[in-house]
Amino acid sequence: MMFQTRIEEIGERSLLAAKEYLLQGECVAFPTETVYGLGADARSDAAVANIYAVKGRPQDNPLIVHVHSGYDLNELVYDDKPYAKKLREAFLPGPLTLVYRSRGTVSKKVSCGLDTLAVRVPSHEGAQRFLRAVGIPVAAPSANRSKHVSPVTAGHVYDDLYGKIPLILDGGPCSGGIESTVCDVTGDRPVVLRAGLISREMIESVAGSCDMYVLKEGEPARSPGMKYKHYAPACKTKLFAPEELGKAKEEFFALQSGGTRVLVLCEGSAAAAFPQEAVLCLGNTPAEMAENLYSLLREAETRAEVLLAVEPVGRGGVMTGVLNRLRKACAEG
Protein backbone atom coordinates (compact mmCIF):
# COMPACT_ATOMS: atom_id res chain seq x y z
CA MET A 1 0.00 0.00 0.00
CA MET A 2 1.16 3.56 -0.74
CA PHE A 3 0.65 6.41 1.74
CA GLN A 4 1.14 10.15 1.88
CA THR A 5 3.45 9.89 4.88
CA ARG A 6 2.68 12.61 7.44
CA ILE A 7 5.05 13.84 10.16
CA GLU A 8 3.11 15.13 13.18
CA GLU A 9 4.06 16.35 16.60
CA ILE A 10 2.76 14.28 19.48
CA GLY A 11 -0.60 15.59 20.65
CA GLU A 12 -4.16 14.45 21.23
CA ARG A 13 -5.06 14.47 17.55
CA SER A 14 -1.98 12.65 16.26
CA LEU A 15 -2.22 10.06 19.06
CA LEU A 16 -5.83 9.35 18.17
CA ALA A 17 -4.83 8.89 14.53
CA ALA A 18 -1.93 6.66 15.60
CA LYS A 19 -4.26 4.43 17.58
CA GLU A 20 -6.66 4.11 14.66
CA TYR A 21 -3.86 3.15 12.27
CA LEU A 22 -2.50 0.54 14.67
CA LEU A 23 -5.92 -1.03 15.18
CA GLN A 24 -6.28 -1.23 11.38
CA GLY A 25 -3.02 -3.18 11.18
CA GLU A 26 -0.89 -0.31 9.85
CA CYS A 27 2.53 0.75 11.13
CA VAL A 28 3.23 4.06 12.90
CA ALA A 29 6.73 5.40 13.63
CA PHE A 30 7.36 6.86 17.09
CA PRO A 31 10.30 8.35 19.01
CA THR A 32 12.09 6.64 21.89
CA GLU A 33 15.14 7.69 23.93
CA THR A 34 17.34 5.38 21.78
CA VAL A 35 16.17 5.45 18.14
CA TYR A 36 12.81 5.81 16.33
CA GLY A 37 10.63 2.68 16.32
CA LEU A 38 8.29 1.30 13.65
CA GLY A 39 5.31 0.19 15.71
CA ALA A 40 2.45 -2.21 14.99
CA ASP A 41 -0.14 -4.17 16.99
CA ALA A 42 1.86 -7.03 18.56
CA ARG A 43 -1.30 -9.15 18.95
CA SER A 44 -2.04 -9.29 15.24
CA ASP A 45 -0.24 -11.64 12.80
CA ALA A 46 -1.11 -9.40 9.86
CA ALA A 47 0.10 -6.23 11.58
CA VAL A 48 3.40 -7.85 12.57
CA ALA A 49 3.86 -9.26 9.05
CA ASN A 50 3.37 -5.70 7.83
CA ILE A 51 6.41 -4.51 9.86
CA TYR A 52 8.66 -7.06 8.14
CA ALA A 53 7.29 -6.06 4.74
CA VAL A 54 7.71 -2.30 5.30
CA LYS A 55 11.32 -2.69 6.48
CA GLY A 56 12.34 -5.49 4.13
CA ARG A 57 13.49 -7.33 7.27
CA PRO A 58 14.52 -11.02 7.33
CA GLN A 59 11.70 -13.10 8.82
CA ASP A 60 13.91 -14.83 11.42
CA ASN A 61 14.90 -11.66 13.28
CA PRO A 62 12.53 -11.25 16.27
CA LEU A 63 10.98 -7.98 17.44
CA ILE A 64 10.82 -6.17 20.75
CA VAL A 65 7.39 -5.50 22.31
CA HIS A 66 7.03 -1.98 23.74
CA VAL A 67 4.67 -1.13 26.63
CA HIS A 68 4.03 1.88 28.88
CA SER A 69 5.31 1.92 32.45
CA GLY A 70 1.94 0.97 33.97
CA TYR A 71 1.46 -2.11 31.80
CA ASP A 72 1.12 -5.46 33.61
CA LEU A 73 4.10 -7.55 32.49
CA ASN A 74 2.38 -10.75 33.61
CA GLU A 75 0.03 -10.47 30.65
CA LEU A 76 2.98 -11.04 28.33
CA VAL A 77 5.66 -13.08 30.08
CA TYR A 78 6.64 -15.27 33.03
CA ASP A 79 8.67 -13.17 35.42
CA ASP A 80 10.26 -15.59 37.87
CA LYS A 81 13.80 -14.27 38.43
CA PRO A 82 14.31 -11.98 41.46
CA TYR A 83 17.30 -10.31 39.75
CA ALA A 84 15.05 -9.28 36.83
CA LYS A 85 12.88 -7.30 39.24
CA LYS A 86 15.99 -5.56 40.57
CA LEU A 87 17.01 -4.65 37.03
CA ARG A 88 13.58 -3.21 36.29
CA GLU A 89 13.65 -1.16 39.48
CA ALA A 90 17.13 0.18 38.70
CA PHE A 91 16.84 0.88 34.97
CA LEU A 92 13.20 1.00 33.78
CA PRO A 93 11.68 2.85 32.16
CA GLY A 94 14.84 3.20 30.09
CA PRO A 95 17.06 1.79 27.32
CA LEU A 96 17.13 -1.81 28.61
CA THR A 97 15.16 -4.58 26.87
CA LEU A 98 14.63 -7.76 28.89
CA VAL A 99 14.05 -11.17 27.28
CA TYR A 100 11.66 -13.38 29.29
CA ARG A 101 9.86 -16.69 28.76
CA SER A 102 6.77 -15.79 26.74
CA ARG A 103 3.19 -16.51 27.73
CA GLY A 104 2.31 -16.64 24.05
CA THR A 105 -0.27 -13.86 24.26
CA VAL A 106 1.12 -11.84 21.35
CA SER A 107 1.47 -12.95 17.73
CA LYS A 108 3.96 -15.79 17.24
CA LYS A 109 5.52 -13.72 14.46
CA VAL A 110 6.92 -11.27 17.03
CA SER A 111 9.44 -13.80 18.35
CA CYS A 112 9.79 -15.76 15.10
CA GLY A 113 8.92 -19.03 16.82
CA LEU A 114 11.21 -18.58 19.86
CA ASP A 115 9.56 -19.34 23.24
CA THR A 116 10.89 -16.05 24.63
CA LEU A 117 9.68 -12.45 24.31
CA ALA A 118 11.72 -9.24 24.42
CA VAL A 119 9.94 -6.44 26.31
CA ARG A 120 10.96 -2.79 26.48
CA VAL A 121 9.56 0.12 28.53
CA PRO A 122 11.03 3.27 26.96
CA SER A 123 11.60 6.36 29.11
CA HIS A 124 11.01 8.92 26.32
CA GLU A 125 8.01 11.02 27.28
CA GLY A 126 6.55 10.93 23.76
CA ALA A 127 6.94 7.15 23.65
CA GLN A 128 5.16 6.81 26.98
CA ARG A 129 2.31 9.04 25.81
CA PHE A 130 1.98 7.04 22.60
CA LEU A 131 2.03 3.65 24.37
CA ARG A 132 -0.47 4.83 26.96
CA ALA A 133 -2.79 6.26 24.31
CA VAL A 134 -2.86 3.06 22.27
CA GLY A 135 -2.96 0.79 25.32
CA ILE A 136 -1.87 -2.32 23.41
CA PRO A 137 1.56 -4.02 23.29
CA VAL A 138 3.41 -2.51 20.32
CA ALA A 139 5.96 -4.59 18.39
CA ALA A 140 8.64 -2.28 17.02
CA PRO A 141 12.03 -2.59 15.37
CA SER A 142 14.08 0.49 14.55
CA ALA A 143 12.24 2.51 11.86
CA ASN A 144 14.85 2.21 9.10
CA ARG A 145 15.05 0.19 5.91
CA SER A 146 16.55 -3.17 6.89
CA LYS A 147 20.39 -2.95 7.13
CA HIS A 148 20.46 0.85 6.91
CA VAL A 149 21.55 3.17 9.72
CA SER A 150 18.95 3.41 12.53
CA PRO A 151 16.95 6.69 12.56
CA VAL A 152 17.40 9.24 15.32
CA THR A 153 15.15 11.97 13.87
CA ALA A 154 11.69 11.96 12.28
CA GLY A 155 13.41 13.13 9.07
CA HIS A 156 15.59 10.00 9.00
CA VAL A 157 12.46 7.83 9.25
CA TYR A 158 10.85 9.83 6.44
CA ASP A 159 13.91 9.39 4.19
CA ASP A 160 13.79 5.59 4.61
CA LEU A 161 10.06 4.83 4.78
CA TYR A 162 8.38 7.61 2.80
CA GLY A 163 5.19 6.30 1.15
CA LYS A 164 5.27 3.04 3.13
CA ILE A 165 3.67 4.22 6.37
CA PRO A 166 0.87 6.72 7.05
CA LEU A 167 2.26 8.52 10.12
CA ILE A 168 5.51 9.47 11.86
CA LEU A 169 5.13 10.88 15.38
CA ASP A 170 7.82 13.51 15.81
CA GLY A 171 9.44 13.71 19.24
CA GLY A 172 12.61 15.53 18.20
CA PRO A 173 16.08 13.98 18.02
CA CYS A 174 16.74 10.88 20.17
CA SER A 175 19.17 11.65 22.98
CA GLY A 176 20.45 8.09 23.55
CA GLY A 177 21.47 7.43 19.99
CA ILE A 178 22.08 3.67 19.90
CA GLU A 179 19.54 0.88 20.36
CA SER A 180 18.65 -0.48 23.79
CA THR A 181 20.72 -3.07 25.59
CA VAL A 182 19.08 -6.49 25.09
CA CYS A 183 19.49 -8.72 28.16
CA ASP A 184 18.25 -12.29 28.56
CA VAL A 185 16.70 -12.88 32.00
CA THR A 186 15.52 -16.47 31.51
CA GLY A 187 18.55 -18.11 33.16
CA ASP A 188 20.27 -18.04 36.55
CA ARG A 189 22.32 -14.99 35.55
CA PRO A 190 21.56 -12.14 33.18
CA VAL A 191 23.20 -12.36 29.74
CA VAL A 192 23.67 -9.30 27.52
CA LEU A 193 22.75 -10.24 23.95
CA ARG A 194 23.21 -6.73 22.50
CA ALA A 195 25.34 -4.03 24.16
CA GLY A 196 23.83 -0.57 24.63
CA LEU A 197 23.50 2.39 26.95
CA ILE A 198 22.88 0.21 30.03
CA SER A 199 26.28 -1.44 30.12
CA ARG A 200 27.18 -4.95 31.23
CA GLU A 201 28.99 -3.38 34.19
CA MET A 202 25.83 -1.48 35.25
CA ILE A 203 23.76 -4.68 35.09
CA GLU A 204 26.40 -6.58 37.05
CA SER A 205 26.41 -3.94 39.79
CA VAL A 206 22.66 -4.46 40.33
CA ALA A 207 22.26 -8.21 39.64
CA GLY A 208 25.54 -9.37 41.16
CA SER A 209 26.73 -10.92 37.90
CA CYS A 210 26.26 -10.52 34.16
CA ASP A 211 27.62 -12.40 31.17
CA MET A 212 28.22 -11.10 27.69
CA TYR A 213 26.89 -13.37 24.98
CA VAL A 214 29.41 -14.31 22.31
CA LEU A 215 28.14 -15.99 19.16
CA LYS A 216 30.03 -19.24 18.59
CA GLU A 217 30.75 -20.68 15.17
CA GLY A 218 28.05 -23.18 14.15
CA GLU A 219 25.67 -22.35 17.02
CA PRO A 220 22.21 -20.89 16.42
CA ALA A 221 22.21 -17.20 17.42
CA ARG A 222 20.38 -16.42 20.67
CA SER A 223 19.68 -12.93 19.42
CA PRO A 224 19.26 -13.55 15.71
CA GLY A 225 19.52 -9.85 14.84
CA MET A 226 23.19 -9.84 15.77
CA LYS A 227 24.23 -11.99 12.82
CA TYR A 228 23.10 -9.54 10.15
CA LYS A 229 25.00 -6.66 8.63
CA HIS A 230 23.50 -3.57 10.14
CA TYR A 231 23.64 0.16 10.46
CA ALA A 232 25.49 0.61 7.15
CA PRO A 233 25.67 4.00 5.40
CA ALA A 234 25.38 4.04 1.59
CA CYS A 235 28.97 5.26 1.05
CA LYS A 236 32.09 3.06 1.12
CA THR A 237 33.54 2.69 4.59
CA LYS A 238 36.92 1.75 6.02
CA LEU A 239 37.64 1.23 9.68
CA PHE A 240 40.96 1.92 11.43
CA ALA A 241 42.04 0.88 14.94
CA PRO A 242 43.00 3.74 17.29
CA GLU A 243 46.72 3.02 16.79
CA GLU A 244 46.31 3.22 12.99
CA LEU A 245 45.66 6.98 13.04
CA GLY A 246 48.81 7.60 10.95
CA LYS A 247 47.65 5.09 8.34
CA ALA A 248 44.19 6.70 8.23
CA LYS A 249 45.83 10.08 7.69
CA GLU A 250 47.93 8.79 4.78
CA GLU A 251 44.92 7.17 3.19
CA PHE A 252 42.85 10.33 3.66
CA PHE A 253 45.32 12.55 1.83
CA ALA A 254 45.89 9.97 -0.92
CA LEU A 255 42.14 9.73 -1.59
CA GLN A 256 41.64 13.48 -1.37
CA SER A 257 44.46 14.27 -3.81
CA GLY A 258 42.97 11.69 -6.19
CA GLY A 259 39.72 13.71 -6.24
CA THR A 260 37.63 11.37 -4.06
CA ARG A 261 35.07 12.97 -1.73
CA VAL A 262 36.34 11.58 1.57
CA LEU A 263 35.34 12.29 5.19
CA VAL A 264 36.72 11.07 8.51
CA LEU A 265 34.66 9.90 11.49
CA CYS A 266 36.61 10.04 14.75
CA GLU A 267 36.53 11.15 18.37
CA GLY A 268 37.51 14.65 19.45
CA SER A 269 41.08 13.81 20.40
CA ALA A 270 41.88 12.43 16.89
CA ALA A 271 40.23 15.26 14.94
CA ALA A 272 43.32 17.49 14.76
CA ALA A 273 45.03 14.96 12.43
CA PHE A 274 42.66 15.90 9.59
CA PRO A 275 41.47 19.11 7.92
CA GLN A 276 38.61 20.46 10.04
CA GLU A 277 36.06 20.52 7.19
CA ALA A 278 36.60 16.79 6.53
CA VAL A 279 35.93 15.65 10.11
CA LEU A 280 32.67 14.23 11.43
CA CYS A 281 33.41 14.47 15.13
CA LEU A 282 31.84 11.85 17.41
CA GLY A 283 32.51 13.93 20.52
CA ASN A 284 34.55 13.19 23.62
CA THR A 285 32.50 11.08 26.04
CA PRO A 286 30.88 7.65 25.46
CA ALA A 287 27.41 9.22 25.82
CA GLU A 288 28.22 11.92 23.22
CA MET A 289 29.60 9.32 20.83
CA ALA A 290 26.46 7.18 21.17
CA GLU A 291 24.23 10.19 20.62
CA ASN A 292 26.10 11.42 17.52
CA LEU A 293 27.03 8.16 15.77
CA TYR A 294 23.96 7.49 13.61
CA SER A 295 23.37 11.12 12.59
CA LEU A 296 27.00 11.35 11.46
CA LEU A 297 26.79 8.06 9.51
CA ARG A 298 23.74 9.44 7.70
CA GLU A 299 25.52 12.72 7.05
CA ALA A 300 28.53 10.80 5.69
CA GLU A 301 26.48 9.01 3.05
CA THR A 302 25.08 12.28 1.70
CA ARG A 303 28.46 14.08 1.60
CA ALA A 304 31.11 11.45 0.95
CA GLU A 305 32.02 8.67 -1.45
CA VAL A 306 34.35 7.17 1.14
CA LEU A 307 34.17 7.38 4.92
CA LEU A 308 37.30 6.61 6.92
CA ALA A 309 36.35 5.76 10.50
CA VAL A 310 38.93 5.77 13.28
CA GLU A 311 37.86 3.78 16.33
CA PRO A 312 37.76 5.76 19.59
CA VAL A 313 40.28 4.64 22.22
CA GLY A 314 37.91 3.88 25.14
CA ARG A 315 36.78 0.31 25.91
CA GLY A 316 34.14 -1.23 28.19
CA GLY A 317 30.94 0.34 29.54
CA VAL A 318 28.89 2.21 26.95
CA MET A 319 31.85 2.08 24.52
CA THR A 320 31.15 -1.65 24.00
CA GLY A 321 27.84 -0.70 22.36
CA VAL A 322 29.28 2.25 20.42
CA LEU A 323 32.13 0.14 19.01
CA ASN A 324 29.79 -2.74 18.18
CA ARG A 325 27.63 -0.36 16.05
CA LEU A 326 30.60 1.36 14.45
CA ARG A 327 32.21 -1.95 13.48
CA LYS A 328 28.97 -3.26 12.02
CA ALA A 329 28.45 -0.06 10.05
CA CYS A 330 31.88 -0.53 8.52
CA ALA A 331 31.73 -4.32 8.08
CA GLU A 332 32.19 -6.03 4.73
CA GLY A 333 29.28 -7.70 2.93
The residues of the shown chain that bind Mg ion, judged by CB under 5 A, are 142
Question: What does 32 bind: ligand TXA, Mg ion, none (CB cut-off 5 to 8 Å by kind)?
Answer: ligand TXA
Q: How far is the CB of 141 from Mg ion (least distance, A)?
A: 5
Is the CB of 50 or the CB of 116 nearer to ligand TXA?
116
231 marked as part of a ligand binding site: yes
Is the CB of 34 or the CB of 142 nearer to Mg ion?
142
Q: How far is the CB of 305 from Mg ion (least distance, A)?
A: 25
Q: Which residues bind ligand TXA (CB under 6 A)?
A: 32, 34-35, 37, 61-64, 97, 99, 111, 114, 116-118, 120, 140-142, 179-180, 182, 193-194, 222-226
Q: How far is the CB of 244 from ligand TXA (least distance, A)?
A: 29
120 marked as part of a ligand binding site: yes
Is the CB of 88 or the CB of 266 nearer to ligand TXA?
88
Q: How many CB atoms lie within 10 A of CB 235?
A: 17
Question: What does 34 bind: ligand TXA, Mg ion, none (CB cut-off 5 to 8 Å by kind)?
Answer: ligand TXA
57 marked as part of a ligand binding site: yes
Q: How far is the CB of 21 from ligand TXA (least distance, A)?
A: 17
144 marked as part of a ligand binding site: no
Is the CB of 14 or the CB of 237 nearer to Mg ion?
237
123 marked as part of a ligand binding site: no
Q: How far is the CB of 262 from ligand TXA (least distance, A)?
A: 29
C-beta nearest to ligand TXA: residue = 225
C-beta nearest to Mg ion: residue = 142
Answer whether 294's CB lies under 8 Å from 178's CB.
yes
> Using CA atoms, how far apart are residues 143 and 152, in angstroms rounded to an integer?
9
69 marked as part of a ligand binding site: no
Answer whether 157's CB lies under 8 Å from 55's CB.
no
300 marked as part of a ligand binding site: no
Binding residues for ATP: 57, 61, 116, 150, 194, 231
Binding residues for L-threonine: 34, 66, 120, 140, 142, 180
